[in-house]
Amino acid sequence: MTREMPDRPSWNDYFMGIADLVAGRATCIRRKVGAVLVKDRRILCSGYNGAPAGIPHCGETGCLRRQLNVPSGVKHELCRGVHAEQNVIIQAAYHGVAVAGATLYCTHQPCSICAKMLINAGIQEIYYRDGYDDPLALDMFDKAGVTLTKI
């Protein structure tokens, strides 16, 4: 017989809490995002947003998007940073970790650029906490059959 443990977090709370912790490593000065890929309740990889390895962080150089007065949600290419969702896929590839069929826990809803990458990587389910105004991302996830759940 199993005893109830009311203080024990649910799996969703557990993995989202880890995504929050990962976001604490982010070097973006506009938005801190953390992502964790999970399969069979096991963490495969994590990622956060920031400049690529060996490139000065925005805290050192200033935010390129602020300098160019680029509003949120547009012209994602005008940024030194790599998104957390991109970094989690890159880290998995770098270390030879298969991610097809995995679940993503992310502090923020992925943008349309990340949506394309996640779909092609075979991510089937995404949990996120904070929204992001990108209807194209939502449409692509829907058409690809990726489950997107705000928690």
User: Of residues 4, 60, 77, 85, which has the active-site annotation?
Assistant: 85
Q: Is 58 annotated as a binding residue?
A: no
Q: Is 106 annotated as a binding residue?
A: no
85 is catalytic: yes
Q: Is 11 helix (H, G, I), strand (E, B) or coil?
A: helix
Give pairs for 128-136: CB < 8 Å, separation 24+: 129/16, 132/73, 132/108, 133/73, 134/73, 134/109, 134/110, 136/112
Residues 6+ apart with CB under 8 A from 90: 47, 82
Beta-sheet pairing, 42-48 with 125-130: unpaired
Q: Is 45 annotated as a binding residue?
A: no
Q: What angle do CA 113, 104, 120 make, to 5 degrees?
A: 45
User: Known binding site: residues?
Assistant: 83, 111, 114
User: Known binding site for Zn(2+): residues?
Assistant: 83, 111, 114
Catalytic sites, residue numbers: 85
